[in-house]
A and B are shown apart, each in its own frame.
Chain A
Amino acid sequence: MREIFKKGNPYIWLTASALTVCLLMICGVIVLIMMNGFGIFWPRKIVKITLHNGTVALGEIVKKEPIPYQKDSYRTKIKIGNRDVYGSDFTWIANADIVSLHFPIDAVVFERREWGNLYGFLKGFRQGETIKPLQHDTLMILLAESRGLYKKIRYIEKKEIGNINYLMEKYRLELKRLMMFPPTEKIRKKTVALNAKIDGLEKVYQEREILLNNLYKEAKEKEIVVLLADGQDKIVPIFQIIRVYAPNKMGFFSKLVFYLTKFWEFIWSEPREANTEGGIFPAIFGTVMMVIIMSIAVVPLGVLTAVYLKEYASDNMIARIVRISVSNLAGVPSIVFGIFGLGFFIYFVGGNVDKFFFPEALPAPTFGTGGILWASLTLALLTVPVVVVATEEALSSVPISLREGSYALGATKIETLWRVVIPQATPGILTGMILSMARASGEVAPLMITGVVKLAPSLPIDSHFPYIHLERKFMHLGFHIYDVGFQSPNVEAAIPMVYTTTLVLLITVLTLNLAAIVVRNKLKKWYSTRAI
């Protein structure tokens, strides 16, 4: 036995176990996120539970667990929905209290624009005091109608009134700027013209407002009556309903279709109910745009540094200092970059930009507050080392013979670099860029203080000149996770959403990382064959 320990085989097993633990951890985390993230849109059966004391609960079973401090007793967590009626989405039921449990075939889930899901049985269409029975198909037609109405309302609210507001704000700022000049005749004329424009817009706005009010009135007219589990009737305006489905009736394929629709909706629609429902499109959009702006800034800086280190610097003091700087940029905590972004980009650069270019809007800051540009630049500084390391690696894999060949043909150093070395190193540079994008899309701490918000009123790109609004605040997947998971008023109901958002972020980051690896391998081959 002693012999075995002396040879050290058990220790090898011990070190192997460390690696195994690492592998299990990483796989565990990925599986955990996948399971929780992919699962939430799958329609679950609606259960009707009758208790000893006669109360009835209708909803989805969320989980079962042992009751703490009690032997062999279990409880069930049920999502009963109907937050406007019961006050909370979830309830706990001790399994011992259950008398009967079955899955009523005609139980229906109403997905609403506000107050979360409603579970119940469809009773009929409300007409005055009477209730007219309603077929499922007719309900679908009504729903389609109300969806059309909703689209109309959204169009007016978002597009038309949004346009009016945007223009009005623009004219107002122009007026303010005109006031800063000495009042000449020309300026007076301009002022009058602007005022006239504003008045015109005001009129249009009022028209739209009336139209909108009428539409809302129309929307409220049609209502259905839902029978809740405890026997009370609940009147729901059809306009409030997004989707109606009866999961207990659904087969596998209709469930699959439902699931895919929901996932699609999650990715492409806007959040509702303080981000706890709806989609995450603005967050995805913000992340992508931020990452793109960042990579535009980071690649030149990173490549220049790497080229300098590999091709120009001899092993002197300056090169060593540059190397130390690069490794420090990689090691300085991201929150410090955030603080720097706040102090330098936002208050110093942004403040001065405001002073010189947007004085009319002051004291309201334009660039002097957090925005997508400042956030991207801050992250660019943070990810420079990633590009530097990848580019350096690529540059050193370019054979000396190629360079020497180029020099022998009379090319200068920059020509050799530009025509021979850089093309060879492109895969490396691309890899660095993709890796820096992966790093940036997961970083949250510096963004929290340089321009991310929980709910941005408008995307950084829209149809108004100059189309790309770099000063706007934006939403971000990572921050979305933090905000919904830790700062939303209804964390319990929001957790499934957070898992799915996490999944989206995880897939983004992993895809980017894999892409980096693939690009490195594929393009390397491609370029090496082309060079020959």
Chain B
Amino acid sequence: MKSLKRRRYADRAAHWVITLGGTATVLVILALFIFIFLEVYPLLQDARITKETTHSVHGKVISMGVDDHQEVAYIIYNNGVIEFISLKSGALLKKHHVSGLDGSVITSADKDHDRLVLATNDGKVFTISISFSESFAGDSRAVTPEVLEEKKVKASKLKAGILNVTSRGDDSTDVTAVYTNDGHLILIASETGKTPLDNEEKKEFQKDITGLFVAHSINQNTASVPYLLQTEGIERREKAKAGMQTADNSSGDLTEQRTGTEITSLALDLFMENLYIGTPSGDVFHIDVRDRENPYLVEKVKVSESAVTALGFLLGDVSLVVGDASGGVNVWMQVRDDRSSWGWALKKVHILRSHKAPVIAVAPSMRDKGFLTAATDGTIYLNHATSEQTLLRFKTGYTPVALAFSPKANGIFVADTNNRLFQWRIFNPHPEITVKTLFGRVWYEGYEKPEFVWQSTGGTDDFEPKLSLVPLIFGTIKGTLYTLVIAVPIGIFAALYTSQFLHNSLKIIKPVIEIMAALPSVILGFLAGLWLAPLMERMFPAIIIMPFFITLSIGIALVVWKYLPVIGKGWYRHGTEVLVLIPFIIGAIVVSIQLGGVFETNILRGDYREWFSRVLGLKYDQRNAVVVGIAMGFAVIPLIFTISEDAMSNVPKSLISASLALGATPWQTAVRVILPTASPGIFSAIMIGFGRAVGETMIVLMATGNTPIMEWNLFNGFRALSANIAVEIPEAPFGGTLYRVLFLASLLLFVTTFIVNTLAETVRRRMRLKYNKL
């Protein structure tokens, strides 16, 4: 009895184990989907603030910054004091006085990485640099700030105060532009060059270039737009900037002093070539300062209906962010334009969310094309230029006076007129990804118009990855299409023949075709890339005429079979056409190879590549879509063949007999009875072939040039989703944007093939049920 009980338990247990094991495949499919999706999910997440802290500041903040790890921040006050505070404890770590200030007040500053340029109300310009050095004691890290005072320049012979300064510099050169409160724009440059005698020579320039834009302004804008001081918030900022100046003079005096136009903001790029000037009339002047002694005005662009209030560059100093008095934030850049005399024109490429008050400051991220904008009403937006999205919005309640991004773009620092310093730590790992950047046209720097681009890595640090999946999806579709064009007719015809007409003694052909399916795709890819592609390039004309000759040879075979019955009768049986055709088709191939040269010289005028580019305007690549189509066709044909052959040969015999009995010929039966009945099977065969072609990796990888271009040209390469994943995932850092986008690509592949396969399986199941009923 006991043994019986145990046996019953064993039986029950086995039932559960087997059911669980059986459903494990479902779990695997689910796990596939879930795990891939989990890796993609962070792309969909919004940026968020992880921590907010406030510190207090003492005085008018001119500029500030922070170290890599957000441990130590520096704050520069308008009296020349630099304070270093610990962001962990809020304690003051170090205080530094900029020497040589002699009581003058800093009115404006420009930050160029570590290098800071400070300008004063009595016309002096200071360059200092602030760096942080790290030292490790055991496990703890100590960050030590250092201030290096580089040089001082007297900006103007007059004692005029400086309202605005912009400066860029490198080891040998630095260029600074200042705008003084008596209405002058002055360019200061110093260049260290090697003289022919190999001595270092330092050249200094100082040039008043006010004339360059004043003349234009008077011509075109007779009425100068009243300066921003009307707005209360701007007034406050103006006070902060002009410091003592505004305290002494009334604002009315200030406008009177100006000579017809004013400058509200300046921006010089890191190449030290292009200086942009924003004016209250809403214009941006582009001045070329390559020749330091003779700068000239390149163009004047109306960028806004209201005054330009803030200018700033994005990482790489190519895109210019323009903020205006009505709160608009736009990104402009130089785009190739044939209509302009210079060949380039400043164009608006991105429009971002507007503030409700005038924009007063722009701060770029050092990591990507993100930037911060601040408006007088105390709102601060975190934007990303390329994806045109505003990721985060902050509020301080008071007008911000200084803005800074942490070097790793994971923290934002804002000082406001209420003497508070806000620190927001942010989580913003994938700012550049939106549905639009993945699937839409995006206007990248250096492009003439919005385009679909996939270019994940570049040579420089400020390279922006361009991750549009569209060229890859296009490549996949192109490869699949050409594959199916080749594989579907061959596969289905061969299946129809095998199932209906092939002689029983030749059924051995079926496993041969199945062996075709077993050929590893890496072998096919290798042959396609290194054997077929060069061969086809060499004898392309022969390949063109080959289908014609093959058809012809079938015709000849038919005639031979029809009119030479004497020879045929002895050994020929119905169902062996396939063997009879072998010599004819081989003959056709040989003939077309022989005639390829003749065809090329006579019809294609000597050289097919030239003919292509001249007559059809096409380019011929060695590794092209036709090669892929043939190689992948090789992989897909057996799939389509097997499944549709299965469907056709399982068509109930009664149907066939009925058809034949009614006098239909075997062919008529095949077309009118077998094909319609087996059509669900054929459909699922095509679907499964499609799924295989979409996901095939090695063949596409080896037989195309893998260039992500979007042309339907048969003789071009392409880059497919699958090959792209294989090429790029080993280089993609874990958890990075590229890594997740590649997971998204594979999710796309998964979902596509899942739908296709599920559909095919369902259709086949229905068909089997139908067959059973018939």
Contacts and interface: CB of A to CB of B under 8 A. Distances in A.
Contacts of A14: 493, 554
A69 interface: yes
B749 A327 contact: no
Interface string A19-40: 1111111100100110000000
Interface in A1-53: 4, 6-26, 29, 32-33
Interface string A45-68: 000000000000000000001001
A336 to B, nearest CB: 5
A342 B733 CA distance: 12
Contacts of A305: 21-22, 24-25
A24 B586 contact: yes
A25 B525 CA distance: 15
B698 A336 contact: no
A334 B562 CA distance: 49
A22 B494 contact: yes
A16 B497 contact: yes
A300 interface: yes
Interface in A226-279: none
A interface, over-half SS: helix
Interface of A: 4, 6-26, 29, 32-33, 65, 68-69, 300-301, 304-305, 307-309, 311-313, 318, 320-340, 342-344, 347-348, 381, 384, 388, 412-415, 417, 438-439, 441-445, 448-449, 478-479, 481-482, 485-486, 491, 495, 498, 502, 505-506, 509-510, 513, 517
Contacts of A415: 7, 11
A13 B554 contact: yes
A180 B509 CA distance: 66
A22 B637 contact: yes
Contact of A333 (B525, B526, B695, B729): B695
A26 B23 contact: no
Nearest to B537: A68
B665 A7 contact: yes
Given A15-B501, A333-B695, A8 B523 contact: no
Contact of B522 (A6, A12, A444): A444
Interface string B507-537: 0010111111011111111110111000000
Given A23-B582, A308-B18, A335 B36 contact: no
27 contacts: A7-B665, A13-B581, A19-B497, A22-B637, A22-B641, A23-B513, A23-B582, A24-B586, A305-B22, A308-B21, A308-B23, A328-B761, A330-B757, A332-B29, A333-B692, A333-B696, A336-B695, A339-B746, A340-B31, A343-B35, A343-B38, A443-B521, A449-B730, A478-B523, A495-B530, A502-B523, A513-B514
Nearest to A329: B25
A8 B667 contact: yes
Contacts of A65: 538
Contacts of A10: 554-555, 558
A448 B730 contact: yes
Contacts of B749: 332-333, 335-336
A347 B730 CA distance: 13
Contact of B753 (A12, A328, A344): A328
B493 A15 contact: yes
Given A68-B538, A502-B527, 15 more contacts: A9-B667, A13-B561, A15-B496, A304-B17, A307-B22, A308-B21, A309-B22, A331-B760, A332-B754, A333-B696, A338-B725, A413-B11, A438-B518, A442-B520, A443-B521
Contact of A322 (B22, B519, B530, B734): B22
B666 A12 contact: yes
B25 A485 contact: no
Shortest beta-carbon contacts, A-B, top 5:
A333-B695, A308-B22, A8-B667, A442-B520, A304-B21
Contacts of A11: 667, 671
Nearest to B725: A335
B35 A505 contact: no
Contacts of A26: 512-513, 515-516, 519
A495 B749 CA distance: 32
Contacts of B524: 29
Interface of B: 7-8, 10-11, 14-15, 17-19, 21-26, 28-29, 31-32, 35-36, 38-39, 489-494, 496-498, 501-502, 509, 511-516, 518-527, 529-531, 538, 550, 554-555, 557-558, 561-562, 577-578, 581-582, 585-586, 607, 634, 637-638, 641, 665-668, 670-671, 688, 691-692, 694-698, 701-702, 722, 725-726, 729-730, 734, 742-743, 746, 749-750, 753-754, 756-758, 760-762, 765
A244 to B, nearest CB: 31
B517 to A, nearest CB: 9
Contacts of A442: 518-523
Given A26-B513, A333-B749, A485 B526 contact: yes
B interface, over-half SS: helix
B614 to A, nearest CB: 16
A413 to B, nearest CB: 6
Nearest to A309: B22
Given A12-B577, A333-B697, A485-B529, A29 B634 contact: yes
Contacts of B668: 7-8
A344 B31 contact: yes
B554 A17 contact: yes
A239 B451 CA distance: 59
Given A24-B585, A33-B523, A414-B10, A312 B494 contact: no
- Among B11, B519, B729: residue with most chain A CB under 10 A: B519
Contact of B520 (A8, A307, A323, A444): A444
- Among B511, B516, B634, B692: residue with most chain A CB under 10 A: B516
Contact of A334 (B671, B695, B730): B695
Contacts of A329: 25, 28-29
A17 B550 contact: yes
A444 B700 CA distance: 13
A471 B165 CA distance: 59
Contact of B760 (A311, A327, A414): A327
Contacts of B538: 65, 68
Given A16-B578, A309-B22, A495-B530, A332 B695 contact: yes
Given A327-B757, A481-B523, A498-B526, A381 B28 contact: yes
A348 B750 CA distance: 20
- Among B562, B691, B725: residue with most chain A CB under 10 A: B725
A330 B757 CA distance: 9
Nearest to A27: B512
Contacts of B530: 485-486, 491, 495, 498
A335 B698 CA distance: 9
Contacts of A312: 15, 18-19, 22
A419 B539 CA distance: 62
Nearest to B758: A324
A485 B522 CA distance: 11
B520 A505 contact: yes
A320 B109 CA distance: 70
Contacts of B513: 22-23, 26
B695 A335 contact: yes
B522 A478 contact: yes
A524 to B, nearest CB: 16
Contacts of A15: 493-494, 496-497, 501
Contacts of A23: 509, 512-513, 578, 582
Contacts of A478: 520, 522-523, 698
A347 B21 contact: no
A384 B25 contact: yes
A231 to B, nearest CB: 35
Given A305-B22, A336-B746, A412-B7, A17 B581 contact: yes
- Among A14, A328, A449, A486: residue with most chain B CB under 10 A: A328
Contact of B726 (A335, A438, A502): A335
A442 B520 CA distance: 5
A482 B29 contact: no
Nearest to A435: B518
A322 B638 CA distance: 25
